Amino acid sequence: MANVTVIGAQWGDEGKGKVVDWLASRADLVVRFQGGHNAGHTLVVGNQTYKLSLLPSGLVRGKLGIIGNGVVVDPEALLAEIDRLRAQGLTITPDTLRIAENAVLILPVHGAIDRAREAARGDRKIGTTGRGIGPAYEDKVARRAIRVCDLAEPETLSDKLDELLLHHNTLLAGLGAPIFDKQTLLDQLLALAPQILPYAEAVWERLDEARRAGKRILFEGAQAVMLDVDHGTYPYVTSSNTVAATAASGSGAGPASVGFVLGIAKAYCTRVGSGPFPTELHDDTGRLLGERGREFGTVTGRPRRCGWFDAALVRQAVKVGGINGIAMTKIDVLDGLPELNICTGYRIKGEIFHRLPAGMQSQAAAEPIYETLPGWSGTTRGARSWGQLPAEAIKYIRRIEELVEAPVTLLSNGPDRDETILMKDPFEG
């Protein structure tokens, strides 16, 4: 049996939470390997809805959850999420959740920097959540970050805060924002230490033991390939690498552990925040997709921008993300539409492109080239096999497979766990 890595194949919000939850029944442990609490996964189980930001989705299935070293962790947000999900009946203890001891912490100063800089950008806002994810990753690269393991060493913590605040308070003062007091931050971290440290360990050792024991590992990504800091629509991206290769570096599991890479893609396309979106719809169809799909950010509550499926974009994600198969979600949202458009490329200043160029001006100028297919009058809801889908829905999916150069191996036709059609079990490799 292979391991499975789940990543987004568009701009995030594709329904990864449901897919990870569904696949977790076949896994032994679930690992988050990048991002922070700017990510959001919604899981619907019967009449219960779980909203997760930092916690691995497998916890809802009773599986061991691991937060890898590639994740930046806001300790207060994590503890609040644990309390909220415990109140919903989930068991979350150091026996069911482990956190990499070398994971970087998000501090209140990071959120303050994030919001102050975004405000200073004015009309050129990136659209961050303002939760400090980017500044925390900056500190990691600048080698001044405070990590989970530092909570066990008060002297180390004190020394690191000196360097960290020297940088951030200078920047905050320049932006006209309040600065932070070292002793206040130190006291807050020392108070959080006994609540966080029981979860901490060298998770790379646990993952190595799991690999040697033949256990199945499900790696859970956040955001999506087109928000990758290297490969996405820069600078309107997240602050981490979201491609499948990060599952190895963000957990310490090694590249051979990544296994089958499942890319999640909606049957249409959405985006939250700023940045290019060639297939965005500003008409009644766009509003209809948003209403039917309940397109609001899990973390921010912001309405998502909606548009037609962008096959050129997803093909690009397949190539750079290492995707072996597609899990297509929300096919039911398209039920009853008379016709559907699929973007096959772009026209940019008179030139044809079959990829989205890296330059900001070229991305902003990209006009979609559409192929139009007939919609279907029947419904995809209730289908439990490929043969029960409307014929035109099957044609739509088959055409997307051809254009993105990857097979659709799993189809989600509703929010509930059972509204899933499996063509190939990713754990079979």
Q: How confident is the model at residue 303 (pLDDT cuts 50, 70, 90)?
A: confident
**Cβ atoms < 10 Å from Cβ of 413:** 25
Per residue, the 3-state secondary structure of the chain, as one string, reads: CCCEEEEECCCCCCCHHHHHHHHHCCCCEEEECCECCCCCEEEEECCEEEEECCCCHHHHHCCEEEECCCEEECHHHHHHHHHHHHHCCCCCCCCCEEEECCCEECCHHHHHHHHHHHHHHHHHCCCCCCCCHHHHHHHHHCCCCCEHHHHHCHHHHHHHHHHHHHHHHHHHHHCCCCCCCHHHHHHHHHHHHHHHHHHEECHHHHHHHHHHCCCCEEEECCCCHHHCCCCCCCCCCCCCCCCCCHHHHCCCCCHHHCCEEEEEEECCEEECCCCCCCCECCCHHHHHHHHHCCCECCCCCCECEEECEEHHHHHHHHHHHCCCEEEEECHHHHCCCCEEEEEEEEEECCEEECCCCCCHHHHHHCEEEEEEEECCCCCCCCCCCHHHCCHHHHHHHHHHHHHHCCCEEEEECCCECCCEEECCCHHHC
Q: What is the pLDDT of residue 43?
A: 75
Q: What is the pLDDT of residue 300?
A: 63
Q: What is the pLDDT of residue 1?
A: 56
Backbone angles phi, psi at 350, to 5 degrees: 85, -5
Report, as residue numbers or ranges, the catalytic residues.
13, 41
pLDDT at 41 over 80: no
Question: Which one, of 249, 244, 195, lies nearest residue 221 by Cα?
Answer: 244
pLDDT: is 235 or 126 the higher one?
A: 235
**Domains and their CATH numbers in the chain:** 4-103+197-260 (3.40.440.10), 110-196 (1.10.300.10), 266-428 (3.90.170.10)
Is there a contact between 180 and 132 (Cβ–Cβ < 8 Å)?
Answer: no
Task: Summarize the confidence of residues 23-51 as an average pLDDT.
Answer: 84
Q: What is the pLDDT of residue 297?
A: 67
Q: What is the pLDDT of residue 61?
A: 84
Q: What is the pLDDT of residue 298?
A: 60
Q: Give the chain's radius of gyration (CA, Å).
A: 22
pLDDT at 40 over 80: no
Q: What is the pLDDT of residue 429?
A: 72
> What percent of the chain shows pLDDT beyond 90?
75
Q: How confident is the model at residue 322 (pLDDT cuts 50, 70, 90)?
A: very high
Q: How far apart are CA 271 and CA 109, in angstroms?
A: 28
Q: How confident is the model at residue 221 (pLDDT cuts 50, 70, 90)?
A: very high
Q: How confident is the model at residue 299 (pLDDT cuts 50, 70, 90)?
A: low
Over residues 376-428, the pLDDT tens digits come to 998 999 899 999 999 999 999 999 999 999 999 999 988 777 788 998 889 88
- 238-247 core/surface letters (b: 16 or more CB in 10 A; e: else): bbbbbbbbbb
Q: What is the pLDDT of residue 428?
A: 85
Is there a contact between 44 and 69 (Cβ–Cβ < 8 Å)?
Answer: no
**174, 178, 181, 185: CA torsion to nearest 10:** -110
* Mean of all residue pLDDT scores within the chain: 92
pLDDT at 75 over 70: yes
Q: What is the pLDDT of residue 273?
A: 81
Question: Which one, of 19, 359, 382, 11, lies nearest residue 220 by Cα?
Answer: 19
Q: What is the pLDDT of residue 270?
A: 95
Task: Summarize the confidence of residues 249-267 as an average pLDDT.
Answer: 95
